[in-house]
Structure 1
Amino acid sequence: MEAVFGMIKYWCHDFWEIYGDHRISHLPLLKGGPWHVIALTLIYLYFVKVMGPRMMKDRPPYELRGIMLAHNTFLVLLNGIGFLVGMWGTNWGLDTLECRPFDPSSSATQDRVLFYLGYTYYISKFIDFLDTVYFVLRKKYTHISPLHVFHHTMMPFWCYIFFKFSSYTNNGFIPLINAFVHTVMYSYYALSALGPHMKPYLWWKKYITQLQLVQFCFATVHSLYMFADQTCTCSKFLISLQAAHGILFLFLFGDFYKQSYTPKVQTSTSTKATRPISSSKKVASKVN
């Protein structure tokens, strides 16, 4: 029995501390294995899929305009400032093309800033859960697409793995461009939360999805570039997963864009008579 408990302890905690970056263990939601991440994600899924709809079944939708405006404005500032600080810390993004481990305990100010900036990015993925919670409370169930839920479910775990096992400058590329995309996206959400009178000024929604598609293209190309770099000591396995992640979401978001913004081709269901039409009737007939 002692051996069983020892094995459970090893795989639940010790393994992640031995092979993971022990320097980050003092930060909340990063000590030990990813079980806290999985637990919070399961709570999120349970509320979105079961508890929330059941709670709202016989209730009118909540009016959350003020809360949503504050929430989205906060995320605009968080991602916008994070993007600017990240650009400063990575030499305008050039350092993300290098594969250099960084040390938050060093005297280099940039390394310490980037370390905690990466942690802030990780925590923001849990804050993003609130997007779906607001949809449930407002009974906007059509907004809760499988892609939306899958994306929000994947990101916290994905960030945990890279933060725990791959503290390299090249892994700052995706958070950097993602912070920029989220700044634009939450700016749109903040403006839409102001009320219906803003609708004429929100014509650029589809361009946000286009920006996301460009983001996944860049992320995939960057991952393939780092995978081909023979001097990079960063885990090639994680880089390959990163490339697969970019390709997967490029396909999923591309399909979403096609379904949402590509004009549908309407086909006529009427059948035409096969008998000959007289010349007088041909003149009078109309083209469908």
Structure 2
Amino acid sequence: MAALLKYCYDMHNYLFIELADKEISNYMLMGSPLPMMLIIGIYYYFIFYGGRKLMENHKPFKLNNIMAAFNIVQIIANMFLVVKIFPIMFNIYKNNMFCLSFENIPNSDKHQVLSQLRYWRYFYVMLKLSDLFDTVFMVLKKNYHQITFLHVYHHVGMCIGTWLIVKLTSSNHEAFTAGINAIIHVTMYTYYLLSLYNKNVKSLGWKKFITQLQLIQFILIFYHHVVTILDPNCSVPKLPILIYMTQVALMIVLFSQFYFQAYIKTKKLNKQDYKQH
């Protein structure tokens, strides 16, 4: 038991002290994994137990105005991230977008660029945490059928995966992921906002389109990771990226299964039902 505890302690120190980005560790929630674990624990308890218990004797809350404000904030925040992060990346890494290491930044610009990208990497982690409110709203509206395994796993996985790669990877590799993901979220939260006040929006194929965008996003991110991993001359730490790749690969599988069940299999069944009648 003592040997196991010592191993865990040594591994913790290696991952979260020695390997970690020293500067990012000074940011709120980034010094230790415990705050993130606590937030995820509270989230899980609320959406499956505490929140449902709270709503047992309550009618669903009418949250349209609150959700509209939340969606607008998310649209602006994600657009802001895209506008800020991509110009920095294209300017600094224009010769090699697959190896976003600190070494590729010119010395004259290094301090300023590192400070900017570090801030936006952290901003991205905070955006993933704010996405958890999507599920909180579902509980308060008693839309429990929307709280699927894919929904919860995606939110929790993005929070943990993003925190880990920002914390452990002393490079700007995840800046590409952040930018691509922010573009998808601008589209997604725009759909959420419009559907609050116009139910016809849901019949225009937005959900299918957004799922397609999410799949394209994960494929692009996976490809970006693969090229980086296979580049022997890239100094970006490979282990955290390899770990994150498994999360991205699983997202591709889960979203593909959802897409097949929701849009391909259902369409075939509807055609068969139509022919029978």
Question: Same fold by TM-score, threshold 0.5 exceeded?
Answer: yes
Q: Assess, with a 3 A threshold, how the Cα gap between structure 1 residues 231 and 5 changes in structure 2: closer, same or farther.
A: closer
Q: Quick one: which amino acid aligns to residue 71 of structure 1?
A: F
Q: Which residue of 2 aligns with 1:148?
A: 151
Residue matched to 1:281: none
Residue 258 of structure 2 is aligned to residue 256 of structure 1: yes
Structure 1 counterpart SS, 2:269: coil
The residue that corresponds to 1:188 in the other structure is 191
Query: What does residue 64 of structure 1 align with?
Result: 63
Instruction: Give 1:201 deviation, angstroms.
Output: 7.7
In structure 1, what is the equivalent of residue 47 of structure 2? 48
Map of 2:229 onto structure 1: 227
1:258 Cα offset (Å): 1.3
1:161 aligns with 2:164: yes
CA shift in 2, pair 1:56/1:219, >3 Å: same
Corresponding residue of 2:102 = 101
Q: Deviations over 1:252-282 (max 9, x none)?
A: 001111111221426989xxxxxxxxxxxxx
CA spacing shift, 1:236–1:56, aligned 2, 3 Å? same
Gaps of 5+ in 2: none
Q: Is 2:29 the counterpart of 1:29?
A: yes
Once structures 1 and 2 are overlaid, which stretch shifts more, 227-236 or 122-131?
227-236
- The count of corresponding residues between Structure 1 and Structure 2 is 266
Does structure 1 conserve the Cα–Cα contact (< 8 Å) formed by 2:165 and 2:244? Answer: no
Q: Which moved more, 1:85-94 or 1:72-81?
A: 85-94
TM-superposed CA distance for 1:11, in Å, is 5.6
* CA deviation string 1:94-116 (max 9, x = no partner): 4542241279xx76433321110
- State the partner residue of 2:126: 123
Note the C-alpha offset of 1:175.
0.9
1:22-55 deviations in Å (ceiling 9; x for gaps): 21221100113x1111111010000001111111
> 1:246 offset after TM fit, Å?
2.0
Shift of 1:242: 2.7
The code of the aligned residue for 2:128 comes to K
Q: Does 1:265 align with 2:269?
A: yes
Query: 1:4-33 CA deviation, whole Å, 9 max, x = no partner?
Result: 99887656567522231221221100113x
Q: Does residue 174 of structure 1 match 2:166? A: no
| Paired-residue identity, % | 29
C-alpha distance 176-267 of structure 1, shift in aligned 2 (>3 A): closer
Q: Partners in 1 of 2:4 and 2:183 — Cα distance? A: 47
Give the structure with higher Rg (CA).
Answer: 1
Seen in structure 2, the aligned counterparts of structure 1 residues 131 and 267 have a Cα distance that, compared at 3 Å, is closer
Identify which of 198, 201, 207 aligns with 1:199.
201
Question: For residue 141 of structure 2, what is the amino acid of its counterpart?
Answer: R
Q: 1:17 and 2:17 equivalent?
A: yes
Query: The residue matched to 2:170 in structure 1 has which SS?
Result: coil
What TM-score do you get using the length of structure 1 for normalisation? 0.83
1:91 match: secondary structure: helix
Larger RCO of the pair (alpha carbons < 8 Å, separation 6+): 2
> Structure 2 vs 1, CA of residues 68 and 225 (structure 1 numbering), >3 Å: closer, same or farther?
same
DSSP-derived class of the 1:28 partner: coil
Give, in whole Å, the separation in 1 of the partners of 2:272 and 2:262.
Answer: 22
Mapped contact 1:69–1:194 kept (Cα < 8 A): no
More deviation, 117-126/87-96: 87-96
| Structure showing the higher helix proportion among its residues | 2
6-15 vs 114-123, which deviates more? 6-15
Query: 1:48-95: per-residue Cα shift (whole Å, max 9, x none)?
Result: 011111111221100000000000110000001101111111017745
The answer to which of 243-252 and 213-222 deviates more is 243-252
Distance 1:55 1:200, change over 3 A: closer
Give the SS at the match of 1:25.
Answer: helix
Asked if the contact 1:72/1:187 (under 8 Å) is kept, the reply is: yes
- CA apart distance, 1:220: 1.2
Residues 96 and 172, structure 1, Cα contact 8 Å, conserved in 2: no
Change (3 A) 1:268 1:125: closer
Match of 1:133 in 2: 136
Give 5+ residue unaligned stretches, structure 1: 270-286
Q: 1:113 aligns with which of 116, 125, 143?
A: 116
Equivalent residues of 1:188, 1:202 under 8 A apart: no
The amino acid of 1:90's aligned partner reads M
- Normalising by the residue count of structure 2, what TM-score does the alignment of the two structures yield? 0.86
